[in-house]
Chain A
């Protein structure tokens, strides 16, 4: 068996039993694929996929000042987030660089749940603890007590209904029928309560379910069994990456890092420079000054989508170049951040940072794929949008 220093998911034995090919990711040993990347990708597009995302960090923020504290600590307006809603946001450094992108659930009055990327979970926790000074709010890392299981795909709702039960006592007043994208509710799994968010990272309808670790295996097995007639398969990080790339969703460490502001990534809408406290005074959040200065200046680089007209995919780190004569590579105008063959489109797709003058849709560029200039054209993101 694998000897490893990586953290193991509470579902690790399930993955081994399913024959998963495991990989290190963010300090965890997680499933890369169970059978075939392409089959798992296509199952999510056409039916459903089951993902173990227990490597994601979970941080509980509670207290009378929880909303005001998050307004100060993050770039978004979290005090304005309705109960049982979720929001995509970021935590930035004082210089405006992105420390992590996050999903924050407002689970009850004065109670928030912050979801961080595995590799950044410690950074986010430390930053939140530091930034909590002076607020009546408690920041607690609850990653170790929670597993996260995602059901994604057009059949996800039917599968969810086959396993989880609505319960007015814990639903927060929301019915599953009315659960909107980026909203959440409490549901019952047997005698246990789980938190269900209509969120995901695949471009499909789907749910992310937080469950206490002692019940994670039972929930995973219940989803697999109930989902089988609907075409659900377990899906690994490889499919997750190609799905999110097709959906034009950024991945920390690729499209986002500490040298990047949300504006360059095309995500300036998450930065709420206009947020105010209850008495109407502007909120001084960490990074505000730097981000305000960046907001109206033209960025030196722009995140674009690239679609290949050849067969060879571009990969992260490859130079984006102007097409030269006779298939040669011209001068470099950018760098690929993520690239893969798109199973849905049937051609290579990539995201890249390029200089603004070559960022217009339809611009013909090339990617230096190990010495050969492969043709790509700038296209609108996302590459795939569900019908």
Chain B
């Protein structure tokens, strides 16, 4: 079973979110591994209002495209332009330098603990 950072919470669509304010959102190592090498990211725009559980962007890998869901509702305050320029960082460091965007949270969708997420992906 994979180990997931205990300080993060997770969505069933394989996003993670930290508890800071604004909160940082990324995709998990499970998503990054399943996608293969990420080659293109389309992230929400700064200032955009987003809804938990809705599609807010795209993650394109060498083989496929998948949709990026937001685990929370709120306002996007920053996107990771370094990851947009070099999407490989999502594979290399999904829980760190491969973060995707930061959001001022107004509401949460269903979020799992690290343990629950590990069971979900087992």
Contact = CB atoms under 8 A, between A and B. Distances in A.
Interface of A: 21, 32-33, 36-38, 238, 241-242, 311-313, 315, 340-341, 343, 370
A341 B62 CA distance: 6
B40 A242 contact: no
Most buried by A among B33, B37, B60, B65: B37
A36 B36 contact: yes
Contact of A238 (B58, B62, B88): B62
B72 interface: no
B36 A313 contact: no
B40 A340 contact: no
Given A242-B62, A370-B65, 18 more contacts: A21-B36, A32-B36, A32-B63, A33-B36, A36-B37, A37-B36, A37-B37, A37-B62, A38-B88, A238-B63, A241-B63, A311-B40, A312-B60, A340-B62, A340-B63, A341-B39, A343-B62, A370-B58
A313 B40 contact: yes
Contacts of B40: 311-313, 341
Contacts of B33: 21
Nearest to B62: A37
Contacts of B58: 370
A241 B65 CA distance: 16
Q: Secondary structure at chain A's binding surface: helix, strand, loop or mixed?
A: mixed
A-B residue pairs, 3 tightest by C-beta:
A37-B62, A38-B37, A341-B39
23 contacts: A32-B36, A36-B36, A36-B37, A37-B37, A37-B61, A37-B62, A38-B37, A38-B88, A238-B36, A238-B62, A238-B63, A241-B63, A242-B62, A311-B39, A312-B40, A313-B40, A315-B65, A340-B62, A340-B63, A341-B40, A341-B62, A343-B62, A370-B58
A182 B58 CA distance: 42
Given A37-B63, A242-B62, A340-B62, A313 B39 contact: yes
Contacts of A242: 62
Contacts of A36: 36-37, 91
B78 to A, nearest CB: 21
A33 B40 CA distance: 19
A21 B33 CA distance: 9
A263 to B, nearest CB: 30
Given A36-B37, A37-B36, A38-B37, A313 B91 contact: no
Contacts of B61: 37
A212 B62 CA distance: 34
B97 to A, nearest CB: 17
Contacts of A241: 63
Interface in B47-96: 58, 60-63, 65, 88, 91
Contacts of B34: 21
Nearest to A341: B39
Nearest to A311: B40
A306 to B, nearest CB: 17
A16 to B, nearest CB: 15
Nearest to A372: B42
A37 B62 CA distance: 7
A343 B39 CA distance: 10
A34 to B, nearest CB: 11
A339 B57 CA distance: 21
Contacts of B36: 21, 32-33, 36-37, 238
B95 to A, nearest CB: 18
Interface string B23-46: 000000000011011011000000
Interface in B76-122: 88, 91
A242 B64 CA distance: 12
A341 B91 CA distance: 16
Contacts of A370: 58, 65
B37 A313 contact: no
Most buried by B among A21, A241, A313: A313
Contacts of B60: 312-313
A33 B33 CA distance: 10
B100 to A, nearest CB: 17
Nearest to A38: B37
Nearest to B41: A311
A312 B39 CA distance: 8
A315 B60 CA distance: 11
A343 B88 CA distance: 13
A271 to B, nearest CB: 33
A33 B34 CA distance: 10
B31 to A, nearest CB: 13
Contacts of A37: 36-37, 61-63
A154 B34 CA distance: 30
Contacts of A315: 65
